[in-house]
Structure 1
């Protein structure tokens, strides 16, 4: 019998009903009474600010002050929470998926492959001065080992997991010189917005660093029966896991993937027909619930032959494949959810969660410790997403919850939650509406007809 983890709580329901399938197959969804009808997927949002070597007490900033906390403890606490609540430990978490940006920094400015194709860095763009372009040996010395240690906690439980790389996990990230920007317009950002025509455009390249930790031959995945396929050395990967009598397929994709990546993903789906399928990728929904990129990280705009937009991915891969029912992403600071119908008239749920800008934990230690712009240092505060699947009733549902392993509380239970985060994330909504963005229910009304149980 599983131990209670407190994962299933009453929530404000925001129901999004799947269109019913016309097929009537009473054998679908049938399972023994002994099968546990509930399980949880842990979704790890962008952890880059927790693993960032500059966000540790050992790091001294330009003003001579040390960072007031070791943000790495939040990362370890998050991974330990998942490990403690894994199904193999008597908990509910059957699978972990990460949406990327595991660490913060790169080791190169421009990788050799992109340099050979004519790309180069503009050292004078505003992005170059913002700190986004920051190659350092501490990536290898501190951030990557830290990430490996955290995921080792999960690996030791034996549960399947997948990791999609983000732009910060690439070997190189640079302000692309071929994209003409005008820094003299910086005073007009308030009017024109954060646009690449002022700031410049970022490009990324290389997955050697990522694959050295999470590649197909890493200790995490080599010879694991649930790790079913990979591409580009493991920057794209597929896993299966069991829950409520079903076998699920997760496909983790690199951000804004190329045509050959999508072709590989299609081959994985073709090899696993009928399995309820999840796509995990770094960049898909923005904070407004639109399939639009961050304007300054728009890879298809500057390298269209090697990248597809979120909308391209949706139209090319998702719409024709009826077994894809859920898409998980990060990258865009905030949270959002939308549901669209695929070509078969069935619903595809798309969920964004990225809490990297949250920095109440820094203020808890030192309320005066602010950035040079007078803003809070984003750390993440240990917030992660828990997607609790419940098949006990005739109509299954997903209960979406948000939990901080640092505060050891769900967002519903933090009375100051809106006070801490609403002004910087969703100032236009009421406190109750803000809470509802991180705690809601999605009905899966056609799931049992759409998919067959084991």
Structure 2
């Protein structure tokens, strides 16, 4: 990540030989542990992957980097460390020979001891955000020629004849716990398309295609952000030559079920830690983690990530991945929730060839968030009683409050809707699907009493006001449902998740998607970010597509094509009108009757909204 502090230094000579091993001490596994052994568990009980990231200031200041790798080597057996990943920004200034010498010395302690992989960060380029600037020193000291004698090193690519661009991505193979893993090391803001194997993303896809049965960890420098608490959505490379984290997720991670974990760094706003679990196309969880400690005391104090795989250690599932942030320099852990957490899962099921915990290939998921993967369908606004004719459609936050302002009885309500959720598009949910889980996630910027979340029954626009809604929204069974889908509160700052499975199922069954009304539960105002903010609301839907194997064609009027006339015929039939209808063709979901769900699916097939 960029920092205003810089060092100057002469460029390395253009050597192409293998980097010099600068070890000055023996680091065999039998030596005394440096920094202490932090777990007394038997090594055969679990295995550990260590994640290093953003060591640029360790390189600049020549401290902490060597302590990290010394601890790793001296705890290989005690902690059963099977792999080490470095997430990029190895050095701060790519043309500074002292920085490269220090980090090469530190990383070379791992040679012959444990498999490891590195990726490029923007600081590996002489001009930090310019991919066309020299990356010669990274390639000299961490390029594929340095690993030719390692049987765990799979290879590097792609290769197109450009010395400054070739072979910046690599993959490694390792085994632990009876499983054979693949580690995919992807360059900073990896350019290209998965459909083009001559580009970094396409090369990565080809590696995944070659190893479809290996559970995969993907490391890349810029992927998740802790400030927006989501994938990165802006390319920082000066010529826009690269892909965002959101694109890497949508095009590479999500479609490939063997990718079960991602590791990244680069971004730091507060503590430089963030995690999220997203469902891939197979309906399986992908555990995604950001760690970047450089914003903390002494630029990180040597903290690293310990990712421990504990068979039989789960509570909600048989096994557990336990994650902890540990400093071998201080011999201390961070104990906050961002630094110490875990994921319960079944290793056998998640690490199988399909990557699906459920073993049910029919499950799928869809994500909707403004600005991500081209989605632009989020609509939200505030209805404020004290400003009854004012529209808040472009506001960056929404307030839900029974007293707004506090010394009045005026209320503030919120409306949120996601358009184009259902349809036949690749990123949409098919009508008549069974919704297994739907979660609305909002970013709370000011804690408060919370809200009752009612499904809206009438349509509304972003320009809606308190007066145009008819004295605000009433939960009367006409404007909004009498009973809320759920109640949320009290609410603290940060991400807030809301279970909206009932609403989304109703829409899948043919009810009108008019979004939700957030009605106040108390007089402590709750503020959350809107679609016009940097942290827009997000709707995640997990579903089972309808079984259409026995369904009709949709040609309800029997004229040989599926169009709006078929929709009209079905709607008239549902309304008990006397119409000429082919009920077998109209029953597109194959459930034995013709209902609103069939009408919705025929409308979608006909190209309607």
Fold similarity call, TM over 0.5: yes
CA contact (8 A) 2:215 2:351 kept: yes
Mapping for residues 151-190 of structure 1, pairs under 5 Å: 151-157=107-113, 159-173=114-128
- Which residue does the alignment assign to 1:267? 206
- Which residue does the alignment assign to 2:283? 345
CA distance in 1, matches of 2:306, 2:281: 29
Task: Give CA-to-partner distance per residue, 1:260-288, whole Å, 9 cap, x none.
Answer: 10111111111111111011000000014
Task: Give CA-to-partner distance per residue, 1:219-275, whole Å, 9 cap, x none.
Answer: xx1121111021155421100111111111100111111111011111111111111
Task: Give CA-to-partner distance per residue, 1:186-205, whole Å, 9 cap, x none.
Answer: xxxxxxxxxxxxxxxx7663
CA contact (8 A) 1:7 1:388 kept: no
Task: Give CA-to-partner distance per residue, 1:20-49, whole Å, 9 cap, x none.
Answer: xxxxxxxxxxxxxx9934100100021101
Task: Give CA-to-partner distance per residue, 1:57-83, whole Å, 9 cap, x none.
Answer: xxxxxxxxxxxxxxx231111111111
CA contact (8 A) 2:39 2:79 kept: no
Question: Secondary structure of the equivalent of 1:105?
Answer: coil
The structure that is helix-richer by fraction is 1
CA contact (8 A) 2:168 2:187 kept: yes
TM-score (norm 2): 0.47
How far 1:451 sits from its partner (Å)?
2.6
CA distance in 2, matches of 1:270, 1:409: 41
- Which residue does the alignment assign to 2:50? 42
How far 1:452 sits from its partner (Å)?
4.3
2:165 is equivalent to residue 227 of structure 1: no
The structure that is strand-richer by fraction is 2
2:346 is equivalent to residue 390 of structure 1: no
How far 1:105 sits from its partner (Å)?
0.6
CA contact (8 A) 2:46 2:310 kept: yes
CA contact (8 A) 1:35 1:245 kept: no
- Which residue does the alignment assign to 2:225? 286
Specify every segment of 5 or more residues in structure 2 that has no aligned partner in the other structure, as ranges.
Answer: 1-28, 158-164, 193-198, 354-609
CA distance in 2, matches of 1:452, 1:151: 32
How far 1:349 sits from its partner (Å)?
1.0
Asked which structure has the greater CA Rg, the reply is: 2
Question: Secondary structure of the equivalent of 1:173?
Answer: coil
CA distance in 1, matches of 2:39, 2:243: 36
Count, aligned residues: 301
- Which residue does the alignment assign to 1:103? 91
TM-score (norm 1): 0.62
CA contact (8 A) 1:388 1:400 kept: yes
CA distance in 1, matches of 2:262, 2:207: 16
Mapping for residues 351-362 of structure 1, pairs under 5 Å: 351-359=289-297
- Which residue does the alignment assign to 1:317? 252
- Which residue does the alignment assign to 1:408? 331
- Which residue does the alignment assign to 2:138? 210
Specify every segment of 5 or more residues in structure 1 that has no aligned partner in the other structure, as ranges.
Answer: 10-33, 56-71, 108-138, 175-201, 360-377, 413-434
- Which residue does the alignment assign to 2:518? none
| Cα RMSD for the two superposed structures | 2.5
- Which residue does the alignment assign to 2:337? 436
How far 1:8 sits from its partner (Å)?
7.3
Structure of greater relative contact order (alpha carbons < 8 Å, 6+ residues apart): 1
CA distance in 2, matches of 1:86, 1:168: 29
